[in-house]
Amino acid sequence: MNQALFKVQNLFKSFVVASANVPVLKDINLEINSGDFLVIFGPSGCGKSTLLHTILGLEAPNKGSVLFSGKNLYTSNNEDDRSDFRKEHIGMVYQQPNWIKSLTVVENVAFPLLLLGASKLESLKKAREVVDMVEMSEWSNYIPTELSSGQQQRVSLARALVSNPEVIIADEPTGNLDYESGQELMQLLSSLNKKTAKTIVMVTHDLEYIKYAKTAIKMFNGEVVGEYDESDKQALLTELKSKRGNGDLKTSEDKSGNTQHV
């Protein structure tokens, strides 16, 4: 039985906009197990990114807890501790990667290890290994901005992997990619999860990628309105395929039966 890496319990988060208090997350409860490939999906503005930032220790909740391996990330208000948590346990892949433009691909990938105190020789050796893993060795000495968007996301994944984190967090990683590059990145993530049991948590609004997940969570209006595992994911995919067949490419129903745009 897989162990829960993350436990999110009774999570509430709101933001003050002008003089109004706007609720964004409403009583979220979920577990992310070791070795899972979890896809969190839903329409823009439903709270996906806020949930991700709260899980990462970037946005303190108003109420509730986020546990990582049994430890509450928000027991104290020490942001340095949460920063250390991310450096030691999390690898990030963003929609738009940020590069140190004076460094090559392999040097950018090695940089997180240097921040963790590894030697330059050790960092570059490990960087070359993970660059090879994502099939980008041929471009090791290029500047990342010289590469295509799809190639850059492969390098971004290598950078996320270089410190051997327990969890890879991917925030809309295919958002700037064409269809083919997006599929290639998703296949790479899926292969990584299957071959190494690396835990992956991905946020997306693209329903196409649910097929790669082991589990999926549907969000709407700040709430979790659907949870799907391997046994019932196929039913979800069949339903979505049926909607596409009716020309309804970008809609699905929330649990109350209302149509939402996804």
Confidence of residue 255 (pLDDT cuts 50, 70, 90): very low
Over 90: is that where the pLDDT of 203 sits? yes
Over 90: is that where the pLDDT of 199 sits? yes
Q: How far apart are CA 106 and CA 112, in angstroms?
A: 11
The SS3 of residue 107 is helix
**Mean pLDDT of the region 154-172:** 95
**Mean pLDDT of the region 219-248:** 77
For 125, the enclosing helix (H) or strand (E) is: helix 120-133
Assigned architecture for domain 4-261 = 3-Layer(aba) Sandwich (3.40)
Over 90: is that where the pLDDT of 118 sits? yes
Model pTM? 0.86
Query: Per the structure block, which two tokens stand in for 71?
Result: 């430890």
**Mean pLDDT of the region 52-75:** 92
pLDDT reported for residue 244: 60
**Mean pLDDT of the region 189-195:** 94
pLDDT reported for residue 251: 37
**Number of neighbours of residue 111 by Cβ within 10 angstroms:** 17
Cβ pair 174, 39 in contact under 8 A: no
Q: Name residue 260's beta-bridge partners.
A: 252
**Number of neighbours of residue 196 by Cβ within 10 angstroms:** 12
> Cα(first)–Cα(last) distance of the chain, in Å?
33
Cβ pair 162, 109 in contact under 8 A: yes
Q: How far apart are CA 73 and CA 59, in angstroms?
A: 11
